[in-house]
Structure 1
Amino acid sequence: MDVRVCCYVLSVALGLVSAQNSYTIPDVRIEVLQPKGFRVSIPDGPGLALFVFQGNLNRKIDRDAVGSLKGEVLRPTNGRWVYEDANTQLRVGDVINYYVFVSVNRKGYLKDNLSYTVQAVEDRTGSSPKPVGCLPTVTTIRGGNACSGQIIFEDDFSSLKDTWQIEQYIPVSSHPEYPFVSYQRLPDDPVVYVSNGNLHITPKIQQRMSDFTNESIYLGNLDLFSGCTSRAEECYRQASGPDILPPVVSGRITSAGFAFKYGAVTIRAKLPQGDWLYPEILLEPFLKKYGSSNYASGVIKIATALGNRDLRVGLDEYGNKVLYGGPIMDVKCRMQLLSRKLMDNSLWGDDFHEYGLTWTPQYISLSVDGEQWARVDATGGLRTRFPNTCTHLPRMLLEKGTRIAPFDDYFYITLGVAAGGITEFPDDSYTGGGQPKPWRNSGRKGMLSFWEDLPHWGTTWTQPELLVDYIKVVAL
């Protein structure tokens, strides 16, 4: 969304009030970076759901104008709302004139007539020198250094560390997959927790939650503003007609304090089983610069297997026996190209497996239990152990010169469970009992049709959890 439109919409819908009322925008921190760029941030606070920055370099800016320097931040990072411009060259004496806008508890607040004069230029990384004996690596850490072979991120889930942010928001139709869930932090009946050395992410039915008293998913509302981690439009939903509330409550965590470029990721996990469920074991771009469409989002799937024990379109099998991964692309070719089957009639959700992804400037390779099964080159070529009918990667990702998108930015880790949606399950598919998929991916009433089929799919959710034993990222 254009930032000016965003500000106008929020000003009208939420009621723009001055910074002297019930909430005062905290002091804005601006840091100038080397060799170019700058970073703007404010501390996180209760109910804060959006941070917008608008500025001009060495010229004034009006409070209702769009600046040449602009950014919209949808969620905090490591306790602060951070906008980073990586391209503007600043020199001592330059002046940034700017205003900021925030949304707090569904109200808009503006702070304008602000300026910052560049006094000094700081180190872009803010990191200490590399230790003696550190071998060079193509791996980089946002805000830090790495050495070849070094473990740069690791968690055995003996506890839920502050490194992870538990998400709380409602995906909207612009989401690449538009799953039929809301991600929530539930203090009394959590969907995200650690137990017996494993991370548990357990989807549940919204209508059955003990604290859900807002009439029903047909007529009620879902207010997640308190603790919401996304933009305002994803913090509240009012049911209306076929636009019901998301029928599934699930969990999602992100490595908010850690992002990297290039490395080897290993995750030992047990995937969820249950009709129309799927795990989210992802790398997502830190700056979200690729776009939000399914083919251009830049998201990398480390591993996923659809929750249905049996799922077919004609004679083709898509259920929990088939493993998928790699950059997001057209669903039909993804399922034909990047897939690996278990040959002993077992399911990926029957036991723990070690899923690996190696991400280099030249390629992304996928492995399971130490065996590589697919590889995507930076120029779009693909190698796989299995025959396929797609010979290239159609509509794959937003091009950056001659290289596909996930090869030129920092990425963070996401773990979660989703249900339904508009991309993961092929239309005209049916379960092992011959039960057809109850919605169409392009259908206006997809979420409603999914919910009304609860008597069929609800009984299959006997093991809906994603269990994660450990995760490790190693510099190349």
Structure 2
Amino acid sequence: MAGDTKSRVWCYIVLLTLSFELANAQNSFTVPDVTIEILQPKGFRVSIPDASGISLFVFQGHVNRKIDRNAVGSLKGEVLRPTNGRWVYEDTNTQLQVGDVINYYVFVSKNRMGYVKDNLSYTVTTLGNRSGGSTTEKPVNCAPTITSVRGGTACAGQVIFEDDFSALKDAWQIEQYLPVSSHPEYPFVSYQRLLTDPVVSVSNGYLRITPKIQQQMPGFNNESIYLGNLDLFSGCTSRAEECYRQASGPDILPPVVSGRVTTTGFAFKYGTVHIKAKLPLGDWLYPEILLEPFLKKYGSSNYASGVIKIAAARGNRDLRVGSDEYGNKVLYGGPIMDVQCRMQLLSRKLRDNGLWGDEFHEYSLTWTPQYMSLSVDGEEWARVDATGGLASRFPQNCAHLPRMLLEKGTKIAPFDDYFYITLGVAAGGITEFPDNSFSTGGRPKPWRNSGRKAMLSYWEDLAAWQWTWTEPELLIDYIKVIAL
């Protein structure tokens, strides 16, 4: 029976190959949108609506690996007749976890012609409630919510995304690119996806993002920083200008290699995010625990479409401007929507004893159309109220705020669209560390944020800050997003 099934599948693939070009040329039929539903305790259901002339529906897929449209999948099924107006294939044996990605294609025979819809994927964001992917059907007893999941559904109180980092799943993309000078923070790092000695890894149930010194990586030395090049085109996740750099004069290569991950198949609007993390310790380091705009509908330059810092604390154990504390004792976060006036809505919380990076804490954000609330270990420490509109709070010299925020946006704009999650570690940069500040032992900050040689000055001070990187990792224990 298994052999017969495999033979039939290959026959369908041959049919697909022979008829696809003709069917595509005639352009007489488009395979309908595919609906995927996650079942409990395991399995999933795939379906398309019926249409006159359909005589066969075939599903081919893999979990967490790509599939070619001419290949047989580890998940496969054939359907010879519709049920209640839909062509339905049901798998009741595959055990799926939140974060798993089903990569698949479907084949439909209609009026003796073959049609394919390929390069499809579905990210499992919840289990057993038919959410995520392309499904529009809500589970039974689904309470209304203001939360939206891009491409899916949500119910009040539902966990719409969750990861305990038992493995690094395909729900995350490891970024690879070089921030350029137009980046609003312009950190002195390159984000790389390294196969050996990686800066992004999962072990012992933690996501680990560990910054390293570029000159200590294979093939590099101190001279390379000044004269070499960094080619990240293979696997680059950004624009071409951010995939390659040639050092020249004061424009050295980024001296730090670090990591950044983003959710690839998950974006949402409004909800509560919980992230248990241990923040990095080391001079001139800072964590990136962010929500970033998916579509950038208010503009792609600077912070036009907004960024939310869920939690951040500079890695310096002691950092002061006069008597004001800016080091790891200070937790800060909130919405950012302008470079020039980036501190306008950011909040600060000073820790009385110890440092934020000494141990794990649960950092939380509740994001609604009316306000944003920041909490740590269950205690709210900041709230940004959108009464009157966030944009109206900014002075006229915050020139980067687009007029559409005031004219077309909601009160919470630009934070009224889908955002995705970003986790990473950065170093240096032109915004996070105030000028005229002094670190441990009274050592002055070695660069000025507006200086032409900022990155070079930072690098030349290596001996003064490298020894402080005793715990430079960002450790993430878990992340959970809950619908309101």
Superposition TM-score, scaled by structure 2 size: 0.68
Partner of 1:189: 197
C-alpha distance in structure 2 between counterparts of 1:289 and 1:141, whole Å: 17
C-alpha distance in structure 2 between counterparts of 1:368 and 1:461, whole Å: 25
C-alpha distance in structure 2 between counterparts of 1:237 and 1:136, whole Å: 49
C-alpha distance in structure 2 between counterparts of 1:333 and 1:422, whole Å: 12
Q: Does 1:303 align with 2:311?
A: yes
C-alpha distance in structure 2 between counterparts of 1:127 and 1:357, whole Å: 27
1:87-122 CA distance string (max 9 Å, x none): xxxxxxxxxxxxxxxxxxxxxxxxxxxxxxxxxxxx
1:221-267 CA distance string (max 9 Å, x none): 00000000001000000001000000000000000110000000000
Contact 1:174 1:292 survives alignment (8 Å):
no
C-alpha distance in structure 1 between counterparts of 2:394 and 2:330, whole Å: 19
Classify 1:315/1:336 alpha carbon distance in 2 versus 1 (closer, same or farther; 3 Å).
farther
1:30-89 CA distance string (max 9 Å, x none): 9999xxxxxxxxxx99xxxxxxxxxxxxxxxxxxxxxxxxxxxxxxxx899xxxxxxxxx
Contact 2:389 2:412 survives alignment (8 Å):
no
Q: Does 1:340 align with 2:349?
A: yes
C-alpha distance in structure 1 between counterparts of 2:260 and 2:223, whole Å: 26
C-alpha distance in structure 2 between counterparts of 1:222 and 1:211, whole Å: 11
Q: Does 1:425 align with 2:433?
A: yes
- Report the CA distance between 1:332 and its aligned residue: 7.7
Classify 1:79/1:151 alpha carbon distance in 2 versus 1 (closer, same or farther; 3 Å).
closer
C-alpha distance in structure 1 between counterparts of 2:435 and 2:102, whole Å: 41
Partner of 1:286: 294
Partner of 1:459: 467
2:176 to 160, 168, 175: 168
Partner of 1:221: 229
Give matches, 1:133-212, under 5 Å. Answer: 133-212=141-220
Contact 2:335 2:346 survives alignment (8 Å):
no
Asked which structure has the greater CA Rg, the reply is 2
> Is the helix fraction higher in 1 or 2?
2
Partner of 1:443: 451
- Report the CA distance between 1:381 and its aligned residue: 7.4
Partner of 1:322: 330
Classify 1:205/1:297 alpha carbon distance in 2 versus 1 (closer, same or farther; 3 Å).
farther
Give matches, 1:103-114, under 5 Å. Answer: none
- Report the CA distance between 1:341 and its aligned residue: 1.1
Partner SS for 1:334: coil
Q: Does 1:276 align with 2:290?
A: no
C-alpha distance in structure 2 between counterparts of 1:401 and 1:297, whole Å: 11
- Report the CA distance between 1:127 and its aligned residue: 1.7
Superposition TM-score, scaled by structure 1 size: 0.70
Classify 1:324/1:79 alpha carbon distance in 2 versus 1 (closer, same or farther; 3 Å).
farther
Provide structure 2 residue ranges, at least 5 long, that are not aligned to the other structure. Answer: 1-23, 34-65, 68-100, 104-131
Contact 1:327 1:406 survives alignment (8 Å):
no
Q: Which amino acid aligns with 1:248?
A: V
2:372 to 364, 374, 378: 364
Select between 202-211 and 241-250 the one with higher mean Cα deviation.
202-211
Select between 161-170 and 368-377 the one with higher mean Cα deviation.
368-377
Q: Which amino acid aligns with 1:444?
A: R
Q: Which amino acid aligns with 1:195?
A: S
Partner of 2:82: none
Q: Among the aligned pairs, what percent are the same residue?
A: 75
Classify 1:235/1:333 alpha carbon distance in 2 versus 1 (closer, same or farther; 3 Å).
closer
1:378-433 CA distance string (max 9 Å, x none): 24679xxxxxxxx9555395425462434321000000000011111111111131
Contact 2:345 2:384 survives alignment (8 Å):
no
- Report the CA distance between 1:151 and its aligned residue: 0.2
Partner of 1:350: 358
Partner SS for 1:216: helix
Partner of 2:4: none
Partner of 2:49: none
Could you say what the CA RMSD is over the residues aligned between the two structures, in angstroms?
2.8
Contact 2:309 2:333 survives alignment (8 Å):
yes
Classify 1:265/1:463 alpha carbon distance in 2 versus 1 (closer, same or farther; 3 Å).
same
C-alpha distance in structure 2 between counterparts of 1:247 and 1:353, whole Å: 30
Contact 2:290 2:308 survives alignment (8 Å):
yes
Classify 1:404/1:133 alpha carbon distance in 2 versus 1 (closer, same or farther; 3 Å).
closer
C-alpha distance in structure 2 between counterparts of 1:239 and 1:436, whole Å: 26
1:250 to 247, 258, 262: 258
C-alpha distance in structure 1 between counterparts of 2:173 and 2:463, whole Å: 34
Classify 1:444/1:341 alpha carbon distance in 2 versus 1 (closer, same or farther; 3 Å).
same
- Report the CA distance between 1:176 and its aligned residue: 1.3
Q: Which amino acid aligns with 1:462?
A: T
Give matches, 1:7-156, under 5 Å. Answer: 126-156=134-164
C-alpha distance in structure 1 between counterparts of 2:201 and 2:401, whole Å: 34
Q: Which amino acid aligns with 2:355?
A: L
Partner SS for 2:457: helix
Partner SS for 2:356: coil
Classify 1:79/1:324 alpha carbon distance in 2 versus 1 (closer, same or farther; 3 Å).
farther
Classify 1:459/1:125 alpha carbon distance in 2 versus 1 (closer, same or farther; 3 Å).
closer
Q: Which amino acid aligns with 2:458?
A: F
C-alpha distance in structure 1 between counterparts of 2:413 and 2:389, whole Å: 13
Select between 350-359 and 209-218 the one with higher mean Cα deviation.
209-218
Classify 1:214/1:423 alpha carbon distance in 2 versus 1 (closer, same or farther; 3 Å).
closer
C-alpha distance in structure 2 between counterparts of 1:125 and 1:184, whole Å: 29
Provide structure 1 residue ranges, at least 5 long, that are not aligned to the other structure. Answer: 1-26, 34-43, 46-77, 81-123, 383-390
Contact 1:379 1:403 survives alignment (8 Å):
yes
Contact 2:276 2:362 survives alignment (8 Å):
yes
